[in-house]
Amino acid sequence: MIGPLIQAVRHRQAILFVGAGVSRQLGLPSWSELIAEMANQLEYDPMVFERQGSGYLELAEFYKIKKISMGSLRSWMDRTWHTDETLVDKCQIYRSIVGLKCPLIYTTNYDRWLEIAFARNNKEFVKIANVGDFTKMKDGVTQIVKLHGDLDDENSLVLTETSYFERLAFESPLDIKLRSDTLGKSILFIGYSLSDINIRYLLYKLHRLWSESEYAAVRPKSYIFLTRPNPIQEAILEQRGITPVVSEVDDEGTGLTTFMERLVRDAFGTS
């Protein structure tokens, strides 16, 4: 079933999309912990604060109104999420990500773990977080594209409700780059939950991009790794041109680790 994906990886014609489920393998704090930190900085009781909003986007919006800047929260995220860079050395998923040799890695994560993994494996990369970074792109060097922003650039973070609504326009320089990059390449999504409207919207927009094209018949196959079977979600994904790859085990981390190791081995004969 994933034969075309293996071939695409082997010939560097695959794009990897990395979501929060990958970062969780390193023990990063949950959204609830992020909300609790917002509450602490605003001198709210965390439980009361969380009940007052309809989700982290609205609560982050309120945080920015009160604080004017996201600087304090960004600093906390940076300190809390990157306490020990050696953690990535023990994570097989990150080793496999580096081992796939994808020319393009897109991520909706804010953290730096992808960059750290490449650096600690002595693999060259360039980070793309805004239009100014486009000048850094080099042939043959993996691009790590931070689609929802980067902790080094507070203004790039898609964290508040306003920034999310602006993101839905899908017309930023990074979005234009994404539309160009995805034409003619297979895409593999890992670490995503389909309960997240962000990824469902992205899959929908990519499907529309192809379906409105006269070249829809030659669209390369794309894939998403799912931690457990869901016939309803799988049917919708198939209709949108995405092939689900369902984990063979119940544990999210073990399933993804096994899948990624096998993909690297099948593409290059190594793990």
91-141 tens-digit pLDDT: 999 999 999 999 999 999 999 999 999 999 999 999 999 899 999 999 999
**73 or 53, higher pLDDT:** 73
Domain span at 74:
31-81
Considering the domain architecture, whether residues 45 and 146 belong to the same structural domain is answered as no
pTM: 0.92
Considering the domain architecture, whether residues 52 and 143 belong to the same structural domain is answered as no
Considering the domain architecture, whether residues 55 and 162 belong to the same structural domain is answered as no
Domain-terminating residue out of 81, 96, 118 = 81
> Is 167 a residue whose pLDDT tops 90?
no
Structure tokens, 127:
């980070």
Considering the domain architecture, whether residues 251 and 226 belong to the same structural domain is answered as yes
Phi and psi of 129, rounded to 5°?
-120, -15
Number of structural domains (the chain) is: 2
Phi-psi region at 110: left, alpha or beta (left = phi > 0; alpha = psi -120 to 50): alpha
CATH number at residue 146: 3.40.50.1220
Domain-terminating residue out of 48, 81, 114 = 81
Considering the domain architecture, whether residues 177 and 244 belong to the same structural domain is answered as yes
